[in-house]
């Protein structure tokens, strides 16, 4: 399945605008995932939006609430939120350039690939890529995706460009608050030399392919064996997959509401036929 662009627009460097597309650099389905199954019935577990004491509620009855005090919220209408959402800007302008080492790893969030939208844009695209590589710099700018504005860094990556979204400064926690209990004392010189020697011996170029998720591999091996084993318990969840939403279910409220509905139908007398 071909990758789908998350953003299409112009990458701008001063007066130069390059038509580009942005793609996610990570795969969401690379790891083993599971469904929750109700063992006695073999059906998938559903999650409903519900309110304690009321039971399941309709989606159009739900609004966002912002907590201003303990258990006190101001309510926001969806239209109010939509009104202040940033329109998806079609320009991603590089406004500053810094050395890559100037940006702390703490700021980096998610990686994306930037590609030229068409053959005509490739010449300018390559110029920006090679200029960044030659200068040893990273370009900074802000890009709007899905109604939210991100701070992002752009740098060469193989034959193309890599964009990494960055956390804003106010999103990071101060490290000093975490490391307050670590005493600032000099370490033993001999121990330091041994540790340094060990690091030197094990130093080598980074190779991501040399590392594997051992837990995921063992899990997949077990699943493959169970699939081949005819004695493995199996169920066929043939119920409708269209209902339900991913929220916590208040099962007791749902059952009580079902009982009320059932009792109501029993008490209801059949209507008399018209003469």
pLDDT in tens, 32-60: 778 888 888 888 888 888 888 888 888 88
- Tens-digit pLDDT string for the chain (275 aa): 568 899 999 999 888 899 999 999 988 766 777 888 888 888 888 888 888 888 888 888 888 888 888 888 888 888 887 777 777 789 999 999 999 899 999 999 999 999 999 999 999 999 999 999 999 999 999 999 888 899 999 999 999 999 999 999 999 998 888 888 887 788 888 998 999 999 999 888 888 788 777 777 788 788 888 888 888 877 776 655 444 444 334 445 555 565 666 666 556 555 544 43
- Taking only the tens place, the pLDDT of each residue in 208-236 is 788 777 777 788 788 888 888 888 877 77
SS3 per residue for 201-267: HCCCCCCHHHCCCHHHHHHHHHHHHHHHCCCCCCCCCCCCCCCCCCCCCCHHHHHHHHHHHHHHHHH
CA distances from 63 to 66, 119, 147, 201 (A): 10, 46, 19, 58
What does residue 183 show for φ and ψ, rounded to 5 degrees? -75, 140
Could you tell me the domains of the chain? 7-29+85-173 (2.40.290.10)
- pLDDT tens digits along 192-211: 899 999 999 988 888 878 87
pTM metric for this prediction:
0.67
The whole-number pLDDT of residue 69 equals 83
């Amino acid at each position: 399945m071909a990758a789908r662009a998350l953003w299409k627009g112009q990458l701008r460097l001063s007066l130069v605008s390059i038509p580009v597309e942005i793609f996610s650099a990570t795969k969401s389905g690379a790891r083993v995932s599971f469904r929750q199954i109700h063992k006695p019935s073999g059906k998938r577990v559903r999650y409903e939006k519900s309110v304690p004491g009321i039971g399941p509620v309709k989606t159009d009855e739900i609004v966002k609430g912002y907590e201003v005090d303990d258990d006190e919220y101001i309510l926001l209408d969806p239209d109010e939120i939509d009104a202040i959402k940033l329109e998806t800007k079609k320009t991603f302008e590089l406004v500053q350039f810094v050395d890559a080492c100037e940006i702390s790893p703490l700021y980096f969030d998610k990686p994306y690939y930037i590609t030229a939208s068409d053959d005509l844009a490739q010449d300018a695209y390559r110029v920006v890529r090679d200029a960044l590589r030659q200068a040893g710099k990273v370009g900074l700018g802000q890009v709007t995706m899905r109604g939210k504005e991100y701070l992002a860094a752009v740098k060469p990556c193989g034959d193309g460009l890599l964009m990494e979204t960055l956390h804003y400064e106010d999103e990071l926690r101060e490290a000093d608050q975490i490391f307050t209990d670590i005493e600032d004392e000099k370490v033993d010189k001999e121990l330091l030399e041994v540790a340094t020697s060990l690091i030197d011996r094990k130093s080598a170029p980074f190779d991501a392919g040399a590392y594997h998720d051992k837990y995921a591999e063992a899990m997949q091996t077990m699943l493959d064996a169970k699939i081949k084993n005819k004695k493995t318990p199996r169920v066929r969840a043939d119920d409708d997959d269209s209902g339900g939403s991913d929220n916590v279910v208040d099962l007791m409220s749902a059952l009580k509401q079902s009982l009320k509905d059932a009792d109501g139908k029993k008490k209801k007398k059949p209507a008399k036929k018209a003469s």
